Structure 1
Amino acid sequence: MSPTPIIVIGRIPKILDKVREDLLPEYDAIHMLNDVDRSIKDLPLLLTETPKKPEDSATNAGSQNYSARPLAVAVGGYFDDAMFNQMKDTCKAVDKGIVWLRPDTTKFKSMPSLSDTDAFGIAMAERVKTKLIELGVGKETGTEEGVHFF
């Protein structure tokens, strides 16, 4: 079975890389973003029923497998409510059937230090994967949309 396509948004590239690696084999981070401006530009293209390849995607660290629409967008803890809402609101016309994940920041106390990017990425990937599995994202009877905290 093919991995479920998702998008991952986080501020630190090394952590993003580790999250992408550790989401496999269940989930494929097809596109990774690390700022609001690029997210606002790329997300509406990626979340259409027939995903469109964003400009400059050749250098994107995601798998770049744009053959299927992503089913979830996982957003990291750097992005506050205003930034999250700005990204999500840009996608209102195309985000039907998309699960949005945000971190429960009260759980950050139990996370490894941000300075240990590998350990932090592993822990973040585990939290994202656990929530996606709990929601059944990619399964016929799974959750198909909404904002959920992990």
Structure 2
Amino acid sequence: MAQPVVVCGRNPKVSEAVRANLVPEYEVIHILMSLEAAQADIPDLLSGKAPADPASNKGSQNYTSTPVAVCIGGGYDDNAFDSMRKASTGLAGVPWLRPDKSRLAEMPPRNDPEGYGKATAERIKVALDDLREQGVFGKDGVYLY
């Protein structure tokens, strides 16, 4: 069974490519495209509730399971990342993944959203697999992919 995750991105094409390339191991149940949406929806998702307006996202919208991780894209700076986590303080602990900016040179150019999204998904999948093997799902923490 695929593990549910949440993806926060800025580019819809990249986010959709990430979703397509995380399967079959991981199911992107919700894709968030703005800081405001992330601050509003992630607390609901981590509480096991569907967000107020689920139809607005390109995720599977399968809210039967709480996400095992929140994956943040490179379009969010440290302040945005911190405010997302702060909005979810005290809720179910999950790993929060963000890009390792020292590895950006390994990525395809951003003007190739499908290639960039596929490479991002591959890195996220490796990180999630490692975290699952370490028994980190269900525990709060920040990890790089």
TM-score normalised by structure 2 residue count: 0.95
Amino acid at match of 1:37: E
Q: CA deviation at 1:95?
A: 3.5
- Determine the C-alpha separation between the residues in 1 that align with 2:73 and 2:128: 15
- Determine the C-alpha separation between the residues in 2 that align with 1:17 and 1:77: 15
**Is residue 73 of structure 1 aligned with residue 56 of structure 2?**
no
Deviations 1:41-63 (A, max 9, x none): 00110001xx1111221131000
**Is residue 143 of structure 1 aligned with residue 136 of structure 2?**
yes
In the other structure, the counterpart of 1:58 is: 55
- Determine the C-alpha separation between the residues in 2 that align with 1:113 and 1:105: 14
- Determine the C-alpha separation between the residues in 2 that align with 1:84 and 1:109: 22
1:119 pairs, out of 111, 115, 118, with: 115
In the other structure, the counterpart of 2:5 is: 6
Amino acid at match of 2:44: L
In the other structure, the counterpart of 1:130 is: 126
- Determine the C-alpha separation between the residues in 2 that align with 1:59 and 1:3: 22
- Determine the C-alpha separation between the residues in 1 that align with 2:39 and 2:22: 24
Instruction: Give ranges in structure 2 of 5+ residues lacking alignment.
Output: none
Q: Which runs of 4+ in 1 moved over 6 A?
A: none
Instruction: Give ranges in structure 1 of 5+ residues lacking alignment.
Output: none
TM-score normalised by structure 1 residue count: 0.92
In the other structure, the counterpart of 1:29 is: 28
**What SS is found at the alignment partner of 2:61?**
coil
Aligned length: 143
